[in-house]
Amino acid sequence: MPKVLRKFALKLGNFIFSQPMTILTFTLILLAAAYAAGLLGSLTGLGGGVVVIPVLTLGFGVDFHYAVGAALVASIATSSGAGSAYVKEGITNVRLGMFLEIATTVGAVVGAWIAVWLNNAVIAFIYSLVLLLTAAVQFRRRAVRRAVEPSPLATRLRLNGSWPQPDGSLQAYGLRNVAGGFGVMGAAGMLSGILGIGSGVLKVIAMDDLMKCPFKVSTTTSNFMMGVTACASAVVYVQRGVITPGIAFPVMAGVLAGALTGARLLKRLDVRLLRKVFAVAVLGVALNMMYMALAGKF
């Protein structure tokens, strides 16, 4: 039985029940928590990784490096499951995704290499800043995107595309500021390697704000890219031995099941209020994590 898994189970058991917890009980609780994280992440558009890391670190007392490794495995699973469906529907811009993956993959490898040398307090502080930015983006009103004239570089690289409309027609779109978006994507990949999340906030800045990509196209293309970026980071974490199957597998299964449930509910629910309420919760988690990082409690 892995020593690290027994350590976290004993710590959580003493915290909740004032007595040691068995590995089975720990796994079942972790599975349920990961399911809730995947469900909320899917409904709010934040992704399961943003939710599951605070659950693991603040709720379960898991070391930040192990939590990041588990979140990366969960990102690979959710991206593989949802990404293929969006590609089949024709919404994902595969060529754009493959181009931007060059930046995110390089950034992810660099970020993962840096992360193994950072202590928990530094990672927690960086993570709290990302959560603050994430909460701010959730309150932003998204303007209706109008078609823009594509840049010469986007045309030369054939990154422009079209996406299906409800009436079955195709709406063409052009992209701008390819170089700026590519640079921001490199930073997003680095954060993904350090924190084990999809860095959706920076991808919104890169694809929505800079490149003027339609919202649905940027969301699905980002999801398509997430698995490749996470795979690049996960290699470094596997080599360092901080991906524990006893933690990573329940998290992967729970987040994937929760994300699939959320995808079904999303079609029937108006989640605008939920996103604002959840943004307040994310803000609270960010401030708590920042305090604990500065106080040296990780």
What amino acid occupies position 74?
A
Please name the residues in contact with 81: beta carbons below 8 A apart, sequence gap of 6 or more.
256, 259, 260
What are the pLDDT digits (tens) for 51-100?
788 888 877 778 888 888 888 888 777 766 666 666 777 778 889 988 99
Lowest mean pLDDT among 215-224, 254-263, 267-276: 267-276
Q: Which residue has the higher pLDDT, 13 or 28?
A: 28
Sorting pLDDT into bands at 50, 70 and 90, what band is 138? low
Distance CA 72, CA 224 (A): 14
Task: Please name which of 79, 196, 211, 203 lies closest in space to residue 133, comparing C-alpha atoms.
Answer: 203
Please check whether residue 95 is in contact with residue 219, taking contact to mean a CB–CB distance below 8 angstroms: no
Angle between the 272-294 and 120-138 helix axes, to the nearest 10 degrees? 150
Alpha-carbon distance of 79 to 296, in angstroms, equals 34
280 token code pair: 């307040």
Most confident of 148-157, 176-185, 225-234: 176-185
Return d(Cα 158, Cα 11) in angstroms, integer: 54
Residue 17: per-residue pLDDT: 47
Under DSSP, is residue 191 helix (H, G, I), strand (E, B) or coil? helix
Domain segments of the chain: what residues? 3-294
- Of these ranges, 50-59, 187-196, 230-239, 274-283, the one predicted with the greatest mean pLDDT is 187-196
Q: What share of the chain is helix, strand, coil (3-state, %, to 5)?
A: 75, 5, 25
Please tell me the distance from the alpha carbon of residue 96 to that of residue 223, in angstroms, as a whole number: 12
Which pLDDT does position 99 carry in this prediction? Answer: 92
Pairing of the two strands 161-164 and 170-173: antiparallel
Contact (CB, 8 A) for 213 and 175:
yes
